[in-house]
Structure 1
Amino acid sequence: MQNDYIAIASLNQYSYCPHRCWRMSCAGEFVDNQYTIEGTSLHERVHTLDSGQREEIWQVRAIWLKSEKYGLIGKSDLVEESQGCWYPVEYKRGHKGEFDNDELQVAAQALCLEDMTGKTVSKGYVYYAQSHQRQEVKITAQLREEAIATIQSVTTLLETGKMPLPIYSPRCQGCSFYSQCLPQVGTKINRYQEAN
């Protein structure tokens, strides 16, 4: 049995940016911006512990998911059960982006649900508050492998504490750490190291 569990959300953070994950998980830093405040507000509304029936779907909000097999733990936004099948639903403030980090978080929740229920989870959803749309996430073999590989990467990051250099990309523009990590500097350092 593993005593130190990885937060499910850290897979999302690592997939989005390993440097961001290091700042949050290893350095214990957090910086708010417009997007993090909106996300916190959304999750405060969603995380009102509740359960109930909606048509033929049983729903429970804000329950803890845990997998001893994968060493994961985290609070779910919503878990649904219909006809013996379980589905995680992750809430996000914006709209579907071009990155797959939200899907990776849903896959990690699915791994936990499978460990907890003994049943295969074939899909989950991301609900985007800005568009009021659910996006189905198929829990494919490839997505499972990606989630497991990311668990390993986060585990290594936490064990070594080694800071990945920030690498500039379009996703940096919305990051709350943008002015702290100076990603253009990291990119320049990488180019310099590669040249020498």
Structure 2
Amino acid sequence: MDEDDLLPLSALQHHLFCPRQCALIHVERQWQENRFTAEGRLLHDTVDSGGREKRGAVRTVRSMPLRSHRLGLAGVADVVELHGPERRPFPVEYKRGRPKAHRADEVQLCAQALCLEEMFHTDIPEGALFYGESRRRFPVALDATLRALTERTALAVRAMIRDGVTPPPVHEARKCQSCSMLDLCRPRRLSRPPSVAAWLARQLDDAPEDDLSADDGPANLQEDP
């Protein structure tokens, strides 16, 4: 697959969090930042600024470019640790908040691992998510279920971008309030648009009586003398 056709790894995380958010960003090319995205960006900038280091048998590489031509994905890993003399990659993705009920963060990590497997010609059974609120790593088993979900999500994102279709909004209060795209998406209003009949009724109620008279209607026509 050509480099220009590769999807950004982050699109998988966006799609699993909310397909409409994914389309607004990657189909319509819109973006809006809020406190959460700003804090996440600052966290990534801090991680990315560390360069390379080696401690014992572990070499740490930050901001490693990733590619998977099989899946059509490209991106940058926050941290990749190279373990042991065989330099087995171990991806670590940094997130500002806390572990979530959905699997969007895990899919993003798994996508990184699939890229690394293709690049290093090796198997990667595990990675980790580091959350800023707890300041802890959470190990993630890259099992068959997570891999299948990751590959399905990549196919879904590719189809969405190819078709250029933005899904309609679905208002979920807790999720929507944390989304930086809230003002652009307008989920509360657009998920329940007013009916045409209600709109017409309001127009008639608001119109002056003079505007409602049929001055040029059949009942008011006068015969020519």
TM over 0.5: yes
| Aligned match of 2:112 | 109
Count of aligned residue pairs for this structure pair: 189
Residue type at the aligned position of 1:181: C
> How far is 1:180 from its partner?
2.1
Q: Partners of 2:101 and 2:149 in 1: how far apart?
A: 17
| Aligned match of 2:44 | 43
| Aligned match of 2:212 | none
Pairing 1:136-147 to 2, within 5 Å after superposition: 136-147=139-150
> How far is 1:54 from its partner?
2.1
Q: Partners of 1:168 and 1:117 in 2: how far apart?
A: 42
**Judging changes above 3 Å, is the alpha-carbon distance between structure 1 residues 28 and 54 closer, same or farther for their aligned structure 2 residues?**
same
| Aligned match of 2:179 | 175
Partners of 1:49 and 1:63 within 8 A in 2: no
Partners of 1:7 and 1:73 within 8 A in 2: yes
> How far is 1:172 from its partner?
1.2
* Cα shift readout 1:85-134 (whole Å, capped 9, x = no counterpart): 21111011111122210000000000000000010111111111111011
> How far is 1:179 from its partner?
2.2
Secondary structure, aligned partner of 2:192 = helix
Residue type at the aligned position of 1:138: A
**Judging changes above 3 Å, is the alpha-carbon distance between structure 1 residues 64 and 49 closer, same or farther for their aligned structure 2 residues?**
farther
Secondary structure, aligned partner of 1:98 = coil
> How far is 1:63 from its partner?
1.2
* Cα shift readout 1:1-45 (whole Å, capped 9, x = no counterpart): 334100001100011001001111111111111101101111111
Partners of 1:49 and 1:62 within 8 A in 2: no
Q: Percent identity?
A: 32
Q: Partners of 1:140 and 1:166 in 2: how far apart?
A: 32
Residue type at the aligned position of 2:100: G
| Aligned match of 1:53 | 54
Q: Partners of 1:17 and 1:7 in 2: how far apart?
A: 16
Structure 1, gaps ≥5 residues long = 190-196
Q: Partners of 2:28 and 2:126 in 1: how far apart?
A: 34
| Aligned match of 1:2 | 2
Q: 2:154 matched to 1:157?
A: no
| Aligned match of 1:185 | 189
- Give the superposed CA RMSD: 1.3
Pairing 1:125-144 to 2, within 5 Å after superposition: 125-144=128-147
Structure 2, gaps ≥5 residues long = 194-225
* Range with bigger deviation, 154-163 or 45-54: 45-54
Which of the pair has more CA radius of gyration?
A: 2
* TM-score, with structure 2 as normaliser: 0.80
Q: Partners of 1:74 and 1:66 in 2: how far apart?
A: 7
* TM-score, with structure 1 as normaliser: 0.92
